[in-house]
Structure 1
């Protein structure tokens, strides 16, 4: 066995926090199409940390939901307002990830727009609706969620990994963050069988992807944000959910965004293959 040299403790300079820990890095955030969502909050955090960010959106999906769609340029402009590095860029573009060719095209487009390299992939998108209980779910619902929530994520990671393979070995900064849900906690998600199934698959594959990409110095983690106020619930149901948090409030999009942005930094370089709950102590 080859004994690796013992690394010294960090120097005082290394321990001082860099105000722009993602300066010079590039990121793709999928599902960042509206200012009420987690993807937007993640993009703002990454941009504030110095990264250049590509915002993926699929406006027809949000337009068909009760919360409606934002104008992509307005979303991008809001992210630009918090850029930590004046040399960084914020770019946006569409993509229907139900199309099996779209993930690889999106990775290539984002990398080209950000200077030919992509360091950080945050697969935040998901299909809303088109789901049901065990009694009502059908093949079309299962296939729709599989295509968007799971197949597209794996194909995104595949295309990202191929892009990173062209870089010199052990190039730092490689990060993949997947989004799972609360399907493994409490009573599960019996009213959303298709969604819970696909999010559970992402949680399950996280360690396999982390092992696969370790030789390329890429970490892979999944985050369960818990119930987050993204404008989808109101009234008594909203108040009941808020009461289940020790803090007495819902999670806000910036709550999981802070964790995700930290996972993208060098400080989190020794964390990989993990499914991390960011639920604020939510009681089911």
Structure 2
């Protein structure tokens, strides 16, 4: 589906890459396979608070380096994206690695410590919003500013974005991650679903604005992907009857990290250039059941 080095020379920043079982790791290695330089962001303290725990970051780094093609470059940056002040520096450091930044994958997410509507507090809602929605929007803004034309006078709030259309090819790619709230209830995950629903809802608006600059934005719902949370020894939910249920599904399994990673790699490839402003579900048909 992709040429062997269709992303050669491009640089990708992938956030939320701290575990080899994670979607972010699968995306980073797949983009590296296609020739991209890779900069990953991680925040391991978040993983340590979850049942499946943290991973060995040295092993994560080594695993990505193994996929780099023909001198591809790699760097990793730690940071808590709940702190908005770290975002400009993260984007600047990613761009400084090779002098360019072509791809932004906002894979990071806060999970755990959620609840029902009766459990919602300002603090809980803000914690999920700040990481999942606010930081994604701010990262995208920093990425886009690098490709925006210089203005003779400062922008005023609400000024329409104007670029230099038409473009022979996309000048940048952004991929956001949403979740299953677009297909049905996510009981007990009100704060998480709220923050992810915001990204799905605002995708067309931001995509239209970015397109003026030649930047393509799409949002991916990866569906149920076992990144450790469905392993019996590390799950945070009941797995009763899971095997029986999976036996009734078309493929008899939940997703693997490589499944959404293939879609994201395609969206970043030349072949995906005509897909713009969409919220795409990669779930093997789970949402159709």
Unaligned runs of 5+ in 2: 151-162, 233-238
1:142 aligns with 2:140: no
Residue in 2 aligned with 1:38?
23
SS of 1:178's equivalent in the other structure is strand
1:269 aligns with 2:266: no
Cα distance in 2 between the residues matched to 1:125 and 1:79: 17
Residue in 1 aligned with 2:195?
198
Classify 1:50/1:192 alpha carbon distance in 2 versus 1 (closer, same or farther; 3 Å): same
Q: How far 1:230 moved relative to its partner?
A: 0.4
Residue in 2 aligned with 1:162?
145
Cα distance in 2 between the residues matched to 1:162 and 1:120: 14
Instruction: Decide which of 175, 178, 181 is 2:176's aligned counterpart.
Output: 178
- Number of aligned residue pairs: give it: 266
Is contact 2:176–2:219 with CA below 8 Å preserved after alignment? yes
Is contact 2:2–2:269 with CA below 8 Å preserved after alignment? no
Instruction: Decide which of 26, 32, 46 is 2:11's aligned counterpart.
Output: 26
Residue in 1 aligned with 2:74?
90
Is contact 1:73–1:92 with CA below 8 Å preserved after alignment? no
Cα distance in 1 between the residues matched to 2:71 and 2:149: 24
Classify 1:66/1:242 alpha carbon distance in 2 versus 1 (closer, same or farther; 3 Å): same
Q: How far 1:205 moved relative to its partner?
A: 0.9
Cα distance in 1 between the residues matched to 2:72 and 2:8: 8
Classify 1:166/1:71 alpha carbon distance in 2 versus 1 (closer, same or farther; 3 Å): farther
Unaligned runs of 5+ in 1: 1-15
Is contact 1:221–1:275 with CA below 8 Å preserved after alignment? yes
SS of 1:44's equivalent in the other structure is helix
CA RMSD of aligned residues (A): 1.9
Residue in 2 aligned with 1:278?
282
1:109 aligns with 2:93: yes
1:74 aligns with 2:74: no
Cα distance in 2 between the residues matched to 1:71 and 1:18: 32
Cα distance in 2 between the residues matched to 1:42 and 1:241: 28
Residue in 2 aligned with 1:189?
186
Is contact 1:29–1:122 with CA below 8 Å preserved after alignment? yes
Deviations 1:70-113 (A, max 9, x none): 23232111011122x21211211101000011222211111112
Deviations 1:173-218 (A, max 9, x none): 41000000010213x1121000001100000111111111112111
Cα distance in 1 between the residues matched to 2:175 and 2:122: 28
Q: How far 1:163 moved relative to its partner?
A: 1.3
SS of 1:35's equivalent in the other structure is coil
Instruction: Decide which of 41, 44, 51 is 1:59's aligned counterpart.
Output: 44
Classify 1:79/1:139 alpha carbon distance in 2 versus 1 (closer, same or farther; 3 Å): same
Cα distance in 1 between the residues matched to 2:199 and 2:245: 25
Is contact 1:28–1:121 with CA below 8 Å preserved after alignment? yes
Cα distance in 2 between the residues matched to 1:245 and 1:110: 41
Classify 1:242/1:160 alpha carbon distance in 2 versus 1 (closer, same or farther; 3 Å): same
Is contact 1:182–1:189 with CA below 8 Å preserved after alignment? yes
